[in-house]
Structure 1
Amino acid sequence: MPDFSYEETKLTTGRHYPIHLLLFVATLFTTTWAGAIWTGIPPFTANKAGFIEALKTGVPFSLALLAFLTVHEFGHFFATVKHRIRATLPYYIPLPPLPFLMSIGTLGAIIRIKEPIRSRRALFDIGAAGPLAGFTVALGLLIYGFLHLPLAEYIYSVHPDYRAMGGIPPAPADTLYLGKNLLFILLDALIQPKGLPPMYELYHYPFLFAGWLACFVTALNLLPVGQLDGGHVIYAMFGSEGHRKISKFFLAFITVIGAPSFILGVLELINPALVFPVPELLLRWSWPGWIIWAIILRRFLGTKHPQAGSDHPLPPGRMTAGWLCIAVFILTFTPVPFAIS
């Protein structure tokens, strides 16, 4: 669910407040619907009397996720206001959680910049403001989730069969795992919460799941490639030549860590009966989605950055903020965000 926040083209249309509001309300509904499903109580399988009650279980996840998206996008928006660059309000993108989709109820949110950014300082401020603002929400959600874990009875309401097993069992085959990022590991070690669920049950815990998703989206946006937020920051910090080198390196990096599991998946599709001797450690650090993401960046979003102002270096304060963005990327990046046992 990446945030493609910029379109540096001349647009003549004004703001359409009813559209923004309608999309927000629709996204509020679809994320609440998705949250109820992740909590384990699908609202549209309930009877009429229980429909509203079932839907209510998705509200914490919905509000947490929308808080992150809203703060992230308004970080960008207020930076454009500061630099007197015309931009739209956020457009939220609803996505109904259909049975064949592993949906969280939204594809994110975007703002559209309505004129070119001609200053590296403005480019930096707009690029960095969204991830830094959104990260504060992600951090807050994770801390709150760690400090307010429900009692053990909660997981039995989602999985009644676990009670007879005496607790959460080892993950069965074909179970979805969520990978741990460095921030998650550090908070776990610092807070040492009691009753923290395994990563294959995390999506039943709305604040932890929303915080994890917020970290995942933040890291995707901060990839220092092309015109992603991270690409804007790197370009403003190190100029066009520095951006070109760093962008190529990270594109190669995500290709390398995605290749083993991607190739194995293709070979298994060609001939499921064959057994391929791939070291487990290699697959543990590989996610095939990075290959798809590399293709999207290379073919559709582009890896180059257009000229934006002179190549004069940023002042020390903004350089410090840039290094903070790099630290946030390191904390939130997950080499294998999703895995199947």
Structure 2
Amino acid sequence: MLDGPSRKELLVHGALFLVTSATALVAGIYMAGGDPIELAAWQNGPMLLAATSYAAALMVILTAHEFGHYLQARRHGVDVSLPYFLPGIGPIPGFGILPFFGTFGAFIRMRLGAVEARPLLEISAWGPLAGFAFTVPVLFVGMALSEIRPMPETGDFMMLGDSLLLMIAEWTFFPEIAPGHDVFLHPLAMAGWVGCLLTALNLLPIGQLDGGHIAYCVFGDSYRHVARVLYVGLMALGVFVFPGWLLFGVLVGVMGPSHPAIMRGPPVRERSLWLVGAALVMFVLTFTPRPIVVDSLPVLLGLW
């Protein structure tokens, strides 16, 4: 019988959820074109409504993802914590547009000893599946609320990379875009975009990310050699495509690019392979090598 969280733990989890909701709302004001430092932005009804839609949708996506893990872990008798939500930091005045999304995601803590492949696979895969189930409608409804506008010649704005799912949603509502114009995402669509990014990050098949767990369940201990090669590839993407991958790679490297040997028994059976296929489809739909359009590291350093 697993013990539930204590009152103190509930207060910690609840406080982190509320603070993250608040920082997501601040980010929503930012996404709606306002300055969260100015009182006028909070007094603008339509802007506040758009910001609230961003924050609410993003928190639903995060909560669904983490409880997908949590409920499966409890079902399999694994000692697991409630989600820890991570508040984001805000824009710094005078430094222009920053990739501020209001949260750094969320995580749960699990105490895993030796575990069979099927429970580990189900715990790992149902998080992305649950989050993705909300990400898709959020993205498509948000895209329907978005607008085509002329591209500004100057000024601070953030160009986002297009995942396959984003391109499908964009083509659905805006099949033709005139030269010099682009789709400016509604804050609700931005929540869907962030949901895609978080899904792709979690499904990278390295380390102890969800994708790393899933790949380990399929290939067993021998997968550690492939994981190390993929980790080197991720760092190369950080150098030549998008510098943010370097930071993410360092975080993954701290945990270890290969999976610890914890599996008991053979790799996953055929009847559970649909979860692997679903994870692969989600990764293909949500991954983009360049999430935010910035210069590569050699260009930023003046080497090219």
**TM-score (normalizing by structure 1):** 0.75
Q: Could you say which residue in structure 2 is the equivalent of 1:275?
A: none
1:177/1:339 contact within 8 Å kept? yes
1:287 to 2:242 alignment: yes
Instruction: Sort the Cα spacing of 1:338 and 1:251 in 2 relative to 1 into closer, same or farther, 3 A.
Output: same
Partner of 2:145: 149
Gaps of 5+ in 2: 296-304
Q: Percent identity?
A: 32
What is the deviation of 1:124?
0.8
Bigger CA radius of gyration: 1
Deviation track 1:80-123 (CA, whole Å, cap 9, x = no partner) reads: 11101121111112234142664222121111114535222111
- Note the alpha carbon deviations across 1:229-259, whole angstroms, 9 max, x for none: 1000000011110x21331232132233332
Question: Which of 198, 201, 212 in structure 2 is aligned with 1:231?
Answer: 212
SS in 2 for 1:109: strand
Counterpart residue number, 2:299: none
State the alpha-carbon separation in 1 of the partners of residues 147 and 278 from structure 2.
36
1:297 and 2:260 correspond: no
For the Cα contact (< 8 Å) 1:60–1:207, is it kept in 2? yes
Cα displacement (A) at 1:295: 3.1
Could you say which residue in structure 2 is the equivalent of 1:122? Answer: 119
Q: Which segment is superposed worse, 59-68 or 24-33?
A: 24-33
Residues 242, 290 of structure 2: 8 Å contact kept: yes
Corresponding residue of 1:251: 231
Determine if contact 1:120/1:308 at 8 Å carries over to the other structure.
no
The 3 A distance-change label for structure 1 pair 186 and 51 is closer
Q: C-alpha distance in 2, partners of 1:36/1:47?
A: 11
Alignment partners' CA distance in 2, 1:117 and 1:194: 54
Select which of 198, 223, 231 maps to 2:182: 198
Q: Give the structure 1 partner of residue 105 of structure 2.
A: 108
Partner-residue secondary structure (3-state), 2:125: helix
TM-fit CA distance, 1:132: 1.2
Aligned partners of 1:226, 1:24: CA distance in 2, in Å? Answer: 26
Decide whether aligned partners of structure 1 residues 178 and 53 sit closer, same or farther in structure 2, where only a CA change above 3 A counts. Answer: closer
DSSP 3-state at the match of 2:293 = strand
TM-score by length of 2: 0.83
Question: In 1, are the aligned partners of 2:116 and 2:265 still within 8 Å (CA)?
Answer: no
Whether the 8 Å CA contact 1:257–1:287 is kept in 2: the answer is yes
Compared CA separation, residues 57 and 135, structure 1 to 2 (3 A): closer
Whether the aligned pair in 2 keeps the contact of 1:120 and 1:236 (CA below 8 Å) is yes
Distance 1:51 1:44, change over 3 A: farther
What CA RMSD, in Å, does the superposition of the two structures yield over aligned residues? 2.8
In structure 2, relative to structure 1, the CA distance for the partners of 1:107 and 1:142 (3 Å cut) is same
Alignment CA distance shift 1:329-1:123 (3 Å):
same
Are the equivalent residues in 2 in contact too, given 1:32–1:56 (CA < 8 A)? no
**Contact 2:73 2:79 (C-alpha < 8 Å) held by counterparts:** yes
Distance 1:259 1:96, change over 3 A: closer
Alignment deviations for residues 125-152 of structure 1 (CA, whole Å, 9 cap, x no partner): 1111111111111111112123x32567
Amino acid at match of 1:187: A
- Residue 207 of structure 1 deviates from its aligned partner by 1.6
1:265-280 map, 5 Å: none
Indicate which of 60, 68, 80 corresponds to 1:75: 68
> Is 1:213 equivalent to 2:194 in the alignment?
yes
Corresponding residue of 1:268: none
CA contact (8 A) 1:44 1:51 kept: no
Unaligned runs of 5+ in 1: 1-10, 153-166, 261-285
| Alpha-carbon separation, structure 2, partners of 1:49 and 1:233 | 43
Alpha-carbon separation, structure 2, partners of 1:126 and 1:132: 11
